[in-house]
Each structure stands twice: as C-alpha cells, then as structure tokens.
Amino acid sequence: MMKNTAPPISPKVTDPKVTDAPRALKRSRPVQVADQIKRWVVERDLRKGDKLPNEAEMIAQFKVSKGTVREAMRILEAQGLIVTKTGPGGGSSVGEVSKDRAMSLLGNYFYFKDLSLSDIYQIRKLLEPEMVANLAGHLDDSTLAELRAMAHQYPEPARSPEEEKQQHISSLAFHARLAEASDNDLLGFVIAFMARILADLTVYRRLYAAPNKELWERGRRHQIELVDALERGDGPGARAIMLSHMEGAETMMNAQEMRITREFMAETPTS
C-alpha cells in the first residue's frame, strides 16, 4: 500500500539496527528518523551539550541517505532541540530549547488566533500580581537595581507618538525582566510571552487622544513603588500595586487603536 520500500510491516522481523519501530507508519522517513533520534536522546538522558553521532554514523545507523538524515536534523533543529556545527569536533549536539525560540513557536500558533487585548489583560491581571507577591523579598540587589533603572528610564511623559511607543516597549521590558526572575518557570514564561505579544503589536495612537498625563504618571509611580515593595519583601503590597498597575495599563491600551502585526514572530537574533 503505502510503504513497501522498507520491510517494517511484519511484526516478527528482526530488523538490523532498527530495533524499535512499532508505530510510525504514516510519516515520512525524515520524520521517523527525527523521532528515533529523539528517543535515542531521551533513553540516554542526554543533556545540553552532549554530542550526537555524526552524519556518517547516522547514515549507517538508520540505513538512510545523507539527505534524509539532514532533513531529520533540520526538523530537530527547527524545534530547537539540537544545534550543529561544522569542523573537527563539530557535528550535532543536544541544545536546550531557548525561551526565545519557544515563544516564537508559540507565537506561530497564536498568529492564526487573533487574540484580543482584553483576552491578554484578563490573564495579566490574574498572573502578574501573583508573580510579584512571590517575588517580594526574593530578589537580589543587582536585579533590584536593574529594575529600578528601568523604572526611572523615562522621567517625563512622551512628547511624540514615537516616544510614547518607546516608553511602552520599555514598560513591557520591565515586566519581562520581572518574569525572568520568577521562581515559577511556567508563570514567568506566560507573563513574558504576553509582554512579547504586546510589544509586537503595532500601535496607532488615536490622533485626537492626547496622551493621558495623569495615567502615565501613575503608571510610572507604580513601577517605582513596586520595586520598593519588592525590596522590603512586602508581598501583599506588591500584589496590590501590580493589580492597580495592570488596570491602569489596560485603560491606556484600550484608549489606543491597536492592531496585531501580521507577521510571524521572528526570533530575535541575539541582539
């Protein structure tokens, strides 16, 4: 029917090398090879940096052509699971999936989903206060200093739409930095992901809506007060400030026309 080049159908075959191919009868060979490599990695509990066999060995191991092995490697590489280098001592090795790549891949999913601002803020209002409550009293001095610097970066309200956008991005970076410090990796990831989605939005300020100076000032004060609360370990205080901050931010966002950029999120090339 669909697979008579290889002899995998009969159950009692003693396939040389391919000891383990129970399911996987509908997928292309590169995908199958990629899956086998994944299993191979998991079985040996390889970790970041551990090396995989080189191309030639894989060709021999899986009895497939060079091109097929390469396509399999590309699949794994696209998922961020391996990295490959050339040269002596080169080859492929296990690579931890970076947060950046994970967010990009997840962004591809939501590209088709048209999230609304209220969707995102509904979650931010729940998660961000909780996160800062956890964080209170657990941040080291350098992180606190970093946050404080970010909070003080823009001492004045924006005078141009472009500047306002910069401040907006900067504010989101503040939240992303907080998320990075979170002990709860999942919580931190979701919050950072939302910050990134918001940062990727294209903002069209309504021309007739003058920047709301009062709201802006309150947002800035929130950030400063938040860092203070975090420093003195005041969890409930931090939570309350963040909640208020989120509500203010939501109001500001709703006062603007926004549109999701219809681009796949690109990975930031380490800049």
Tell me which residue of 158, 191, 157, 155 sits closest to 173, measured CA to CA.
191
Near a copy of itself in 114-173, by CB under 8 A: 114-120, 122-123, 126-127, 130
**Counting contacts by CB under 7 A, is residue 186 touching DNA?**
no
| Sole binder of a copy of itself in the list 13, 56, 60, 149 (CB under 8 A) | 13
Contacts of 68 (CB under 8 A, 6+ apart): 29, 30, 33, 62
The C-alpha angle with vertex 265 and arms to 84 and 222, in degrees rounded to 5, equals 115
**Contact flag: residue 268 with a copy of itself (CB under 8 A):** no
In the bound state with a copy of itself, the residue whose beta carbon lies nearer, of 7 and 137, is 7
Stretches 107-115, 137-145, 148-156, 163-171: which one binds a copy of itself (CB under 8 A)?
A: 107-115
Which of a copy of itself, DNA, none lies near 80, with the C-beta cut-off 5 to 8 A by kind?
a copy of itself
Looking at the DSSP bridge assignments, the partners of residue 258 are 203
For a copy of itself, the binding residue among 190, 241, 249, 252 (CB under 8 A) is 190
Which does residue 29 touch among DNA, a copy of itself, none (CB within 5 to 8 A, set by kind)? DNA
> Contacts with DNA in 82-141 (CB under 7 A)?
84-92
Asked whether position 42 contacts a copy of itself by CB under 8 A, the answer is: yes
Q: What is the CA radius of gyration of the chain?
A: 25
Separation CA 230–CA 223 (nearest Å): 11
Binding-residue pattern over the window 231 to 260 for a copy of itself, x denoting contact by CB under 8 A: ----------------------xx--xxx-
Spatial separation of the C-alpha atoms in residues 78 and 206, rounded to whole Å:
39
SS3 11: coil
Based on the shown chain and the rule CB under 7 A, indicate whether residue 35 belongs to the binding site for DNA: no
User: At how many degrees (to 10) do helices 161-181 and 185-199 cross?
Assistant: 170
Return the residue of 59, 61, 77, 163 that touches a copy of itself, per CB under 8 A: 77
| Listed residue (172, 218, 188) closest to 128, CA to CA | 188
DSSP class of residue 232? T
In angstroms, the CA 3 to CA 192 distance is: 45
- When CB distances are held under 5 to 8 angstroms depending on the partner's kind, the choice from DNA, a copy of itself, none that residue 262 binds is a copy of itself
Considering only residues 42 through 61, tell me which ones interact with DNA, judged by CB under 7 A: 54-56
Residues in the site for DNA, rule: CB under 7 A?
A: 1-5, 28-30, 54-56, 63-68, 70-71, 73, 84-92
